[in-house]
Structure 1
Amino acid sequence: MEIRSFPRQPRDNPENGPAGNAEARPYAVPDGPRTRVRSRRRVKRENRRKLLLLRTIVLVALAGVVLVGVIGVGILKEKEAGGEGWKDPDAAFRGLHAAGTKMEIPVPTSEEAEALVRKVLAMRSADEFQGHVRLRGMSEAEAVEFLTTLPEREGKIRSLLWQGSQNANGLQIEGVVVQFAKEGRPLRMALLTPDGAGHWQLDLASFAWHNDVDWQDFYDGRARVADYRLLVAKDSYYNGGYADEKAWSCYGISHPGSDLVMMAYCPRSGAEDVSLHRILKDKKGSRVTLRLERTGDGNNRQAEIRSVLAEDWVVTDAPFDGSSRLGVPSSGE
């Protein structure tokens, strides 16, 4: 006599398909005692796996907490023993430019910043500058001429857009983008910074893109050395006297008021290169103030970087690249 644990499966069942087709009848065998036992065992195995995973996560978290605690205790013990504890590797670089920065000076609100910009751009006399305008490398006469002729060149103010903090060179800086009414005119950035008394002022030289030598004159070779507020980006054009890319680093430079683009070079890993590397790190491009020189070793589109004066367009007494001598970044930085 044949003994079966389950009822015999019908040969043809509309719901299960033909009896001989295993793929067509995935649920052909009805539930019975063995099926229920297997289900309970499967649930227990899954529960054990979940419990093991949970325990693993808890143990890893506890190990992380213990590790942080051990490191913290070690730092405190080192300080108690007269050591300095953990040090930020870039602290010296940032600290050099942060020295003298009065970060406790309250920043203006967006309304206050925009009101200051409108007030300065409406000035037509140097007598109005006191406490509101920062003149660095720009004479009062040049400032008055710029402000007086600005509406004719670029039209009325169309809009102002507050950009917030633009801190650079150890200075507190707030930015406001100014758009003028005339079509095709580039946007200008009004950079505000406090004076020694804590009064916020508009740095007019940076707003005016002020340079001692016209950009066209430098491009055409009529000037040999000049300082410029430029837009700078990393580039890779090595040619002429700057063909050796192991000896030189290449940067694309352009003036915000011109379509003329030049290539600027500096010794690889030199003070200027390190400064630009830090400024452009994680950026496609940036505002930078440079001192350039035409050496005669390249074509009319090539110049040499003699100094990085500022990481933005607000210039101070100390050139920015002085801090670069703290160290050269590794190739992987």
Structure 2
Amino acid sequence: MSSNKPPRDGLGHQKVKTKASAGSFRPWSLSKMRKGLGFQTAKRKNARETGIGAAPSMGQVGRMIKTTDERLPIRYVTAAAIFFFGCTCMFIGATAAAAVLWWFSGGGGPKGPKTIQFGTPVTASHLPAPEPAEMEKSVTAFLAARTPRDLDPLIRSSSLSPDEIVTRMAALEAADGKVRSVRYLRPIDSRTARLESVLVTFSKGGNRIAFLSPDANQQWRVDFDGYARYVHPSWDQILKGSPEEATVRVQVIPDNYYNGIYRDEQSWACFALPSPDHETLIFGYVARGTPQHAALVSTMNRTERRAQGGLQRMTLKIRHTDGSDRRQFEITRVLSDEWALGDQPLDDQLAGPLSK
């Protein structure tokens, strides 16, 4: 038999359903949220207010957005993680640096000659250069001299005898024509000798450079071999493919003509060697990793030469090798980074203390 009485709870108290009035308290009201999208907890009632048998309280619900004090433990954890991460990175970096130093100090890798360090040998001479007008006067006197006695106080030591120099001076005048002008240029950026330059132009349109340098007596004199662009043997013999080692004064510029016995670019570096004294373009090849290669590459990288497009006057020793094209030569020595020679070949300088 059904009863219309309201149900009772376990202690005999009746549960009465009531409707919330318009102004009644709402424990989880969204209208009372304060800090962003957090939750605001309802005011807890103690046991006397709730009475025996009320539903157990969940306690105070934590807010989603923590206060400053509540975030402190998280900061400590983050700082500790960053600290240990930084220590790990430092350890890895120190280990890598130690390995690199060990390798390059000779502890690892193939045992062989050390890599040549490109250096810049410094000429010891600090003798002041003459005034430009005085240098032009010296070159004019040199060009007019026609006897060994007249030439003796004007020129440096040469590969030729005084009589041969006189003969060549007459031959050069016949080929170049009369002197039209003598004009001072500038100091020369050379690592083998202290050099100044004077430009000589001729009636036939050509020109030559007279290099002046201090001799053993600290007197500024003209370098005849550089002025005459002296080669030995003659270009006719060299271009015929003579196996004899030749001394040449050429212009040097990097090239990529790898062919024949010089096709291996990993073993050889190629340079074009034009000359104003013949029309045949020849190529020189130098073994990589040698003092000769170091002398050529470091000369090409000098600031003044880069400004001139890389074209460089140099004095070399070359040799034609069997099996190569008649225009291909091996560069066996690098004597100077100019057409005038110094007291020591350039490749010897780079094979000395600077390469160790």
Q: TM-score, normalised by structure 1?
A: 0.66
Match of 1:270 in 2: 290
Residues in 2 aligned to 1:169 and 1:323: alpha-carbon distance in whole angstroms:
9
Indicate yes or no: 2:155 matched with 1:133.
yes
Amino acid at match of 2:285: Y
Contact 1:138/1:210, CA 8 A, preserved across alignment: no
Query: Aligned-residue CA RMSD in angstroms?
Result: 2.1
Give secondary structure in 2 for the equivalent of 1:133: coil
Shift of 1:93: 3.1
1:259 and 1:203, CA in 2 relative to 1: closer, same or farther beyond 3 A? Answer: same
Indicate yes or no: 2:206 matched with 1:180.
no
Indicate yes or no: 2:175 matched with 1:153.
yes
Residue from 252, 255, 259 that aligns with 1:235: 255
Contact 2:192/2:346, CA 8 A, preserved across alignment: no
Amino acid at match of 2:168: F
Contact 2:192/2:344, CA 8 A, preserved across alignment: no
Match of 1:299 in 2: 325
Match of 2:90 in 1: none
The answer to which structure, 1 or 2, has the higher relative contact order (CA under 8 A, 6+ apart) is 2
Residues in 2 aligned to 1:297 and 1:271: alpha-carbon distance in whole angstroms:
25
More displaced, 319-328 or 197-206? 319-328
1:304 and 1:92, CA in 2 relative to 1: closer, same or farther beyond 3 A? Answer: closer
- Off by >4 Å, runs of 4+ in structure 1: none
Matches within 5 A, 1:80-119: 93-94=119-120, 96-98=121-123, 101-103=124-126, 105-119=127-141
Shift of 1:232: 0.6
In terms of Rg, which structure is larger?
Answer: 2
Match of 1:322 in 2: 348
1:93 and 1:227, CA in 2 relative to 1: closer, same or farther beyond 3 A? Answer: same
Match of 1:311 in 2: 337
Indicate yes or no: 2:250 matched with 1:247.
no
Give secondary structure in 2 for the equivalent of 1:236: coil
Residue from 237, 246, 249 that aligns with 1:226: 246
Q: Percent identity?
A: 27
Match of 1:82 in 2: none
Give secondary structure in 1 for the equivalent of 2:136: helix
Amino acid at match of 1:321: D
Unmatched segments (≥5 aa) in structure 2: 1-115
Shift of 1:223: 4.8
Shift of 1:315: 1.4
More displaced, 201-210 or 161-170? 161-170
Matches within 5 A, 1:18-33: none
Amino acid at match of 2:167: E
Match of 1:87 in 2: none
Shift of 1:317: 4.0
Indicate yes or no: 2:210 matched with 1:190.
yes
Contact 1:137/1:205, CA 8 A, preserved across alignment: yes
Q: TM-score, normalised by structure 2?
A: 0.62
Residue from 126, 143, 146 that aligns with 1:121: 143
Match of 1:280 in 2: 300
Amino acid at match of 1:152: A
Give secondary structure in 2 for the equivalent of 1:291: strand
Shift of 1:242: 0.3
Residues in 1 aligned to 2:295 and 2:277: alpha-carbon distance in whole angstroms:
24
Matches within 5 A, 1:13-92: none
1:92 and 1:301, CA in 2 relative to 1: closer, same or farther beyond 3 A? Answer: closer
1:195 and 1:317, CA in 2 relative to 1: closer, same or farther beyond 3 A? Answer: closer
Residues in 2 aligned to 1:92 and 1:109: alpha-carbon distance in whole angstroms:
34
Aligned length: 233
Unmatched segments (≥5 aa) in structure 1: 1-89, 329-333
Amino acid at match of 1:146: R
Residues in 2 aligned to 1:156 and 1:305: alpha-carbon distance in whole angstroms:
36
Residues in 2 aligned to 1:264 and 1:297: alpha-carbon distance in whole angstroms:
15
Contact 2:212/2:220, CA 8 A, preserved across alignment: yes
Amino acid at match of 1:288: M
